[in-house]
Amino acid sequence: MRVLGIDPGLRNLGWGLIDVDGSRLCHVANGTLHSEGDGLPTRLLSLFQQLSAILIHYAPQTSAVEQTFVNKDGAGTLKLGQARGIALLAPAQYGIEVGEYAPNTVKKTVVGVGHASKDQIAHMVRMQLPGAVLTGPDAADALAVAICHAHHAASRARLARALA
């Protein structure tokens, strides 16, 4: 199963792809999309087109997006939410299921601590995906989202088999 993890952002949208075979995880690719253009609609379109190109090129079977962290800056949170909308819409357009995870859930799954730093996340992503060259912190976060989704999807599958 190929999993696309997305760390949404209006300026920088991180993405990371892993292949999952049972409990084995294998790094495929990662990167950061940068919005282009002057107005918000143009920047959102830019992110959508770039993310769509990744979906077409790598053909993931499932995807996951980090949920929005609400902070004191309401305008900033709203803009992040709009970029997150693109991260949800693009995979859905291609019929790809999208999982959503809170930042603390991603950190706890990958690092073991719900309030891990970006450096700790990057370190644990490298440990779980040997040989992966991280293109930046947003890409590392996106790979962490993909790893989190892979673990949670495996748990859901085991539970469904047990209940059947």
Q: Are 23 and 147 in contact (CB under 8 A)?
A: no
- Residues 6 or more apart from 69 whose CB is under 8 A from it? 77, 80, 103
Residues annotated catalytic, as ranges: 7, 66, 138
Q: Is 66 annotated as a binding residue?
A: yes
CA pair distance 110, 105, nearest whole angstrom: 9
Q: Is 7 annotated as a binding residue?
A: yes
Q: Is 97 annotated as a binding residue?
A: no
Return the bridge partners of 6, or none: 15, 65
CA pair distance 156, 152, nearest whole angstrom: 6
Annotated binding site for Mg(2+): 7, 66, 138
Binding residues: 7, 66, 138
